[in-house]
Amino acid sequence: MLFRSFRLLRCFFEGGTVEAYQNNLKSMVHVVEQALELPKIMPHPIPLLQCTENKTLVMTQQQVFSLLANAFLCTFGRQPSNYADINFFELFSSGPPRAPGRLDRFTEGDYTKLEKLQCIFNYFYTMYLRNKFELWSHGRVVTFERRYLTDPEIPNWARARCDKLLSDVEININGKIEDCGKEMLQVDFANPAVGGDVFGEHASMEEIRFSICPELIVARLFTEQLGEDEVLLVTGCEQFSIYEGSGTRFRCTGLYQDPAIVDSMGKIGRAHV
């Protein structure tokens, strides 16, 4: 029998203020309620975004939340090896203690995971409040698109001759991509497994983005590992946390109220690729 440690999750609940503890409990009640709604709001199997095919999958905000609620509760079965893990087991477990016999000590990676948990609960708490005050945006959707190029479609850049100039490029060395690139296509050059090490100890560009925009995480459930000639384009995800630093210095510093505008199709005009 495989033993799973939930040590970090317990530490997260017990290590904050009384107010934070109460808010987290309220959020968890809502998480369980929405997880149980999944058979009703998604009665059919979810299509897979598999290798070497162009396919689009559209979900409502509530469907995404229900899927993530189930992933947090670890209700999904084991993923095939060519798909990323969707259950949150790894995020809840801690690494080996720094000193033998000192079980109260956490590794640097454990502290990073605790910050990621705070980002996740910022998302849960925001959605709990929206549900409580009937601010749930039923019309908002998130679109997941897998794009694939066949060999004839891939340009031969070494031999290509083109008299067209590139568009003007602006380089900004200050700020973060999510601040400077609002309402723009935001490119993440990262792991072929969607989300990278979002449940693990690392906090680079991809892991941070999936932590502050948890709706991206749901793509791990149905997106097969990306090839060199493929991308995943996600449109409509909100940002729920603000942060500072990266790696072992990554810190979740608070809730974020995303000012992004929802268009007539229910989409937020921001795309991640």
Q: Strands of 55-60's sheet, edge to edge? A: 55-60, 141-148, 230-235, 271-272, 185-186
- Indicate which residue of 85, 178, 197, 207 is catalytic: 207
Band (pLDDT 50/70/90 cuts) for residue 95 is: confident
| pLDDT tens, position by position, 23-33 | 999 999 999 99
pLDDT at 108 over 50: yes
- Indicate which residue of 110, 206, 215, 238 is catalytic: 206
pLDDT at 20 over 50: yes
Q: Is 183 a catalytic residue?
A: no
Q: Is 170 a catalytic residue?
A: no
- pTM over the 0.95 mark: no
Question: Would you state the structure tokens that stand for residue 97, as one six-digit string?
Answer: 């203690």
Residue 234: name the closest of 216, 220, 222, 252 by CA: 216
Classified as helix, coil or strand, 209 is helix
Most confident by average pLDDT, 3-12, 43-52, 170-179, 264-273? 43-52
| pLDDT tens, position by position, 209-240 | 999 999 999 999 999 999 989 999 999 999 99
Q: Is 201 a catalytic residue?
A: no
- Indicate which residue of 85, 110, 188, 197 is catalytic: 188
Gap between the Cα atoms of 222 and 47, Å rounded = 7
pLDDT, position 1: 43
Burial class (CB in 10 A: 0-12, 13-18, 19+), 136: middle
pLDDT at 117 over 70: yes
Q: Which of 5-19, 195-209, 251-265 has the lowest mean pLDDT?
A: 251-265
| pLDDT tens, position by position, 125-153 | 999 999 988 776 667 899 999 999 888 88
